[in-house]
Structure 1
Amino acid sequence: MASRSQNRPLDAARSALPCDALPLKAPGAGFQFLAGVRVVDLTTSVAGPSGTMLLADMGAEVVKIERPSGGDDARSWGPPFLAGESLWFAAVNRSKKSVALDFSDAAGLKLLYDLIRQADMVFVNLPPRVARKLKVDADTLRQVRPDLIYVSITGFGLSGQRANWTCYDLIAEGYSGIMDVTGAAGGDPQKVGAPAADMLAGQDAAFAAVAALYDRRTTGKGHVIDVALVDSMTRLLSCRLMSYLGSGELPTRSGGTDSVIAIYQAFETADDPIVLALGNDNLWQRFWTAVGDPDYARTPGLQSNAERRQRRSEIVDRIATLLRSKPRSHWLDVLREARIPVGPINNLQQVATDDAMLARGMFYRLASADGRIVPQVGCGIVVDGEPGLARSAPPRLGEHTDDVFADWLGMSNGDRRNLLNQDSHERT
């Protein structure tokens, strides 16, 4: 039975939270595409855990190995905390099992290797020098299990002069160029408002791991997957980089108003802003018809996107004047009716209460077996009409240690403690 402090989300005495309005769901079977696949997760923070959570969302059994003291770095990231637990940690660790294990000594390392022998994949987010020091580098672990799929997520990759440099999302965004093209015209470079490099790298790692698993089932061979935060973030800029490489035109910060598409940006209305995308000639014509000025769409010199880009300022001024004449709700109705890509600029409160997103399972509260209620952001994937559902809440530190060793290795709690104690005595 959870203590009252552990059960704070159910405590009516506390102030209401946004998550209280979300639908309450019990853990379920979720997607089962990777059922039977075992993953040992040695990663911390966001990138690695987000990647292994995607695998868990698809049905893999993910065992998260954590330091007995403190665990994953993200467990301490806050405030805010919910019932004493980090919400950043909870965002990327559902449907996993937590094992508290110190593998810095011989006995702990032996236990880790025993688990890896039973695993299909291992995820590591250590620079190569540190991974070798801890004996969890690719060469070492593939001796433990030759057909292992070893997934490394680092800042700069496993090779090259930067391989052993430390890195976080912020550093990767700086290297990639995304910050240089993000922000208001004439303003300072800006970081993306989310850990974009981390989440992209995690997604790349999960995708590559599944592809390698598919190949192994045919060839019997393992693989070493090398994902770098800087590479993943740079890939996000492919369209921008290709435009530069093929033209020599270096983009500058513009507040998102310099797209290759004219028109593709935010506009003010009489009350709240909207975003508008006139991505082809047909949309251009339909927009001006919808707003009651079809003749302007036929103006010579505005018939192609290339021509409109040359006169972007004139067009933007005309649209801005028009849209400021009526409120956002009016323009959203008019333009949606005309099948024009248009939308609001939501804040996070509006996103979390969006009926369409709620219907697609993007936000819910998860009721764990120990009485905790944990908000979740869904994986954003719907299969056969069903959104994904967590199999379990983000684990407490070491919550599944005994269960995993018993299930994977047939080892009792006493046997494991005797092994660890014996090694400790031998070292002293």
Structure 2
Amino acid sequence: MIRPLDGMLVADFSRVLAGPTAAVMLADLGARVIKVERPGAGDETRAWGPPWAGSSSAYFEAVNRSKESIALDFTDPGDLSLARALADRADIVLENYRTGTLERFGLDAASVRARNPRAVYCSITGFGSTGEGATMPGYDFLVQAVGGLMSITGDAGGEPRKVGVAMVDLLAANHAAMGVLAALLHRERTGAGQHVEVALLSSLIASLANQAGSYLATGAAPRALGNRHPSIAPYETLHCRDALLAVAVGNDAQFHALCGVLGDPALARDPRFATNPARVEYRDELQAALEALLAVDDAAVWATRMLGAGVAAGTVNGIGEALALARRLGLEPTVEVGAGHPPQLAHPVRYSGFAPAAPTAPPALDAHGAALRAWLAEPVD
């Protein structure tokens, strides 16, 4: 079976989350990924526990499968020579060091591409590589704060809140992988590699979608609304007899169907609720009316009834329940990576022409060091 990146070599000089996640995506598409780590400590996330998965942290395991590990000290001339040899052989170089750090070692984009002009070199930064942004540390939580995401997340009138996962890092990982693939296609057509840059702040801002669109159209800053949508109602969580129910009504026909399921079709003809703009204006009154009807039964029962009527609804699941739902729907959300390691989240895209590469277990620090050192020391044909 031929995969898009079969035969491609990735030199992964990245750490923590965004870069390593992008590297896993490339490995899923067939690339060979060699992870370069600091001797002794390795990637910072190896120590980010609990929870632990054997001798490693669950965090590290989650984003470092299907890689080989070599520990290299850039201040050691011999190790630096091997790091350069790896970059010079690579089709793709990934890094997320602070801007300017790798220049001291001849591992920056300009130096690598001077020696290896076909390389696609991808830098992930927090706030860009020039000016003030080049000196700013790029952590997901910080970018969520200064990039506006926290201002629209959380309860209405409450404190701003971060998203429950490092979403900015994951967005940047997706943009990095997309940029690398685009650059590889460009290389196939032109023969030349290039430098791809992805900033966490840019990735977040590009993903603010309708919320940024609202600001750009009106000049008014969107505000946090809890689980409500700024432009659609009902599109929120509602209290049932036992728990919360997520209800997403996208048009008036669906609202009529919802009211029918609830046993009050006249509610859809109330002038306050007959159109989506009216429902948004009178959302508090709408919530009260809907929750009075929902109070007679449990959330799971209502979800089944609503789905049967074509209304998007579901219970608020924990992660375990979410994985179980995906399995029930045949989406295969996890993959096994080997004895002694927990399952990992699967590549989420299905392809009609190939299957993602079979995953291997996340590597111990320098697990492949001896073999890689010998290989990198060999002359290139």
Matched, 1:392 2:363: no
Aligned ranges for residues 3-152 of structure 1 at < 5 Å?
32-152=3-123
Equivalent residue in structure 1 for 2:288, among 307, 317, 330:
317
Give, in whole Å, the separation in 2 of the partners of 1:240 and 1:295: 33
| Amino acid in structure 1 at the alignment position of 2:218 | S
Normalised by the length of structure 2, the TM-score is: 0.93
Segments of structure 2 that go 5 or more residues without pairing to the other structure are none
SS of residue matched to 1:111? helix
Which amino acid is 1:92 matched to?
Answer: V
1:335 CA displacement: 0.2
Separation in 2, partners of 1:301, 1:351? 35
Tell me the CA shift for residue 301 of structure 1. 4.9
1:196 aligns with 2:167: yes
* Contact map agreement 2:306 2:313 (CA 8 A) in 1: yes
Contact 1:128 1:164 in 2 (8 A): yes
SS of structure 2 residue aligned to 1:126? coil
1:78-135 Cα distance to aligned partner (Å, 9 max, x none) = 0111212111000001111111222223322221121122111100101212222333
Structure 2 Cα separation of the partners of residues 287 and 223 of structure 1: 53
- Hey, what's the Cα distance between the residues in 2 that align with 1:405 and 1:129? 26
- Partner SS state of residue 106, structure 2: coil
**Runs of 5+ unmatched residues, structure 1:** 1-28, 412-428
Measure, in 1, the Cα distance between the counterparts of 2:357 and 2:246.
31
Change (3 A) 1:357 1:390: farther
Report deviation, 1:224: 0.9
User: What displacement does 1:192 show?
Assistant: 0.7
> How far did 1:148 drift?
1.3
The count of residues paired between Structure 1 and Structure 2 equals 379
The code of the aligned residue for 2:283 comes to R
Q: CA deviation at 1:375?
A: 2.1
| CA separation of 1:385 and 1:358: change in aligned 2, threshold 3 A | farther
Q: Calculate the aligned-residue CA RMSD, in Å.
A: 2.0
One-letter code aligned to 2:322: V
Aligned partner of 2:337 in structure 1 is 366
* Matched residue, 2:350: 382
**Cα distance in structure 2, aligned partners of 1:114 and 1:130:** 18
Q: CA deviation at 1:390?
A: 3.9
* Structure 1 residues 161 and 92: CA distance shift in structure 2, 3 A: same
Q: Which amino acid aligns with 2:332?
A: G
Code of the residue aligned with 1:104 in structure 2: it is: T
Alignment partner of 1:168 is 2:168: no
- More deviation, 333-342/134-143: 134-143
Identity of aligned residues (%): 34
- Aligned partner of 1:340: which letter? V
Kindly state the Cα deviation for residue 145 of structure 1 after the two structures are TM-superposed. Answer: 0.6
- Look up the equivalent residue of 1:69 and give its one-letter code: G
How far off is 1:405 after superposition?
A: 4.1
Aligned mates of 1:105, 1:364 — CA distance in 2: 38
Change (3 A) 1:385 1:61: closer
> Alpha carbons of 1:264 and 1:39: their partners in 2 closer, same or farther (altered >3 Å)?
same
Structure 2 Cα separation of the partners of residues 208 and 357 of structure 1:
34
- State the shift of 1:406 in Å: 4.3
Question: Structure 1, residues 150-174: CA drift from partner, whole Å, max 9, x if none?
Answer: 1000111112321121121111111
Tell me the CA shift for residue 358 of structure 1.
7.8
State how far apart, in whole Å, the 2-side matches of 1:254 and 1:245 are. Answer: 19
Aligned position for 1:232? 203
2:297 to 326, 335, 360: 326
Quick check: 1:380–1:387 contact (8 Å CA) kept in 2?
Answer: no
In structure 2, the CA distance between the partners of 1:357 and 1:400, relative to structure 1 (3 Å rule), is: farther
In 2: Cα distance, 1:45 partner to 1:375 partner: 19
Counterpart AA for 1:231: S
Tell me which residue corresponds to 1:342: 313
Partner residue in 2 for 1:216: 187
2:233 is paired with a residue whose SS is coil
Partner of 1:186: 157
Q: Helix, strand or coil for the counterpart of 1:189? A: coil
C-alpha distance in 1 between matches for 2:291 and 2:206: 33
CA distance in 1, matches of 2:119, 2:171: 23
Name the counterpart of 2:126.
Answer: 155
Q: Which moved more, 1:202-211 or 1:225-234?
A: 225-234
Secondary structure, in 3 states, of the residue corresponding to 1:260?
coil
Letter in 1 for 2:321: Q
- Among residues 277, 280, 284, which one is paired with 2:255 in the alignment? 284
Residue 309 of structure 1, CA deviation = 1.5
Q: Give the direction of change, closer, same or farther, for the CA distance of 1:351–1:324 in structure 2 (3 Å limit).
A: same
**CA distance in 2 between partners of 1:143 and 1:321 (Å):** 69
Match in the other structure for 1:17: none
Q: Does 1:401 find its partner at 2:372? A: no
What is the deviation of 1:261?
1.0
| Cα deviations by residue, 1:159-216 (Å, 9 ceiling, x for unpaired) | 2321121121111111111111111122211111001111111111011001100110
1:305 equivalent in alignment to 2:276: yes
TM-score w.r.t. structure 1 length? Answer: 0.84
148 and 61 in structure 1: CA distance in 2 versus 1, 3 angstrom threshold: same
**Higher RCO, 1 vs 2 (CA within 8 Å, ≥6 residues apart):** 1
Distance 1:174 1:147 in 2: 37
**Maintained 8 Å contact 1:78/1:86:** yes
Q: Establish whether residue 257 from structure 1 lines up as the match of residue 228 from structure 2.
A: yes
Task: Give, as a single letter, the amino acid of the residue that structure 1 aligns with 2:96.
Answer: N
